[in-house]
């Protein structure tokens, strides 16, 4: 297996946002393993769909959606549709801090933190020429790099305008929400407030979902689990 990586750095004050295009030269694409990065990742899906698994939740990124992954977040992804002789469907941007310039890194990452691990749908992204990033020749010519810079800047403008102005449309399917709640209720330190924030629902709605599935409140559910564990240890 041969892997070729092309990159394109863009600088906004003290924020460096680097595009990574990874082409894996193999007939069969294997599913990725658990891993983490020291920088922010921004993934945008061009086609198909990719399932991401985090420690406490699972979500699906579909065409036209963006996913933000915070630094040091363990995750892995599975391509829902196996592609053969076709470029990977996910485009990745890494956000790191650079020296000098206006203090924009904290502003960028503060906005990213608010929407991490949840797909964001931005309809205008579909109109961008994102397929240009899959052409390796563009990274080696002045004209090609200028064009890539222009498209990348358009993408970042749409993204940050959406998450900073709160004009985005967060995507959270019923199945994904159920998986997230199932995982979080098993963590004793997680409160109803935490679950509501993670699912973008009100506490009242989360309580209703838990009662509908388990027939009792979160407190009662944990009390039963504690009593069961206590009886089992005798």
DSSP line for 10-38: EEETTEEEEEEEEEEESSSPPPPPSB--S
Q: What is the DSSP letter of 169?
A: E
List pLDDT tens digits, range 108-165: 888 888 888 888 888 787 778 887 887 878 888 999 989 988 988 888 888 887 776 5
Which tokens hold the place of 197? 């924030």
Which tokens hold the place of 22? 């990874």
Q: pTM of the entire structure?
A: 0.60
Q: What are phi and psi of 148, to 5 degrees?
A: -65, -40
All residues at 6 or more sequence positions from 115 whose CB lies less than 8 Å from its CB, including other chains: 68, 163, 168, 170
The predicted pLDDT at position 234 comes to: 54
Q: Which residues of 54-76 are buried (b: 16+ CB within 10 A; e: fewer)?
A: bebbbbbbbebbbbbbbbebebe
Minimum mean pLDDT range among 31-35, 96-100, 162-166, 181-185: 162-166
List pLDDT tens digits, range 60-101: 888 788 888 888 888 888 766 654 344 445 777 888 988 877
């Amino acid at each position: 297996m041969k892997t070729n990586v092309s990159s394109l750095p863009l600088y906004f004050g003290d924020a460096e946002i680097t595009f990574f295009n990874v082409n894996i030269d193999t007939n069969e694409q294997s599913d990725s393993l658990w891993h983490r990065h020291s920088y922010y990742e921004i993934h945008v899906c061009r086609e198909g769909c990719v399932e991401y698994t985090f420690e406490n939740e699972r979500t699906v990124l579909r065409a036209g959606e963006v996913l933000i992954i915070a630094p040091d977040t363990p995750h892995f992804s599975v391509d829902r549709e196996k592609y053969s002789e076709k470029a990977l469907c996910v485009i990745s941007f890494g956000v790191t801090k650079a020296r000098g310039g206006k203090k924009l890194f904290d502003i960028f990452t503060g906005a990213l933190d608010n929407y991490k691990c949840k797909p964001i749908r931005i309809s205008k992204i579909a109109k961008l020429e994102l397929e240009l990033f899959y052409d390796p020749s563009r990274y080696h010519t002045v004209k090609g790099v200028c064009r890539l810079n222009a498209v990348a800047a358009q993408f970042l403008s749409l993204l940050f305008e959406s998450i900073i102005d709160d004009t985005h449309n967060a995507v959270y399917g019923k199945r994904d929400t159920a998986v997230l709640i199932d995982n979080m209720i098993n963590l004793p330190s997680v409160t109803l407030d935490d679950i509501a924030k993670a699912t973008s629902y009100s506490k009242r709605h989360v309580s209703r979902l838990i009662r509908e599935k388990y027939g009792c409140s979160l407190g009662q559910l944990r009390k039963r689990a504690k009593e069961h564990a206590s009886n089992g240890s005798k």
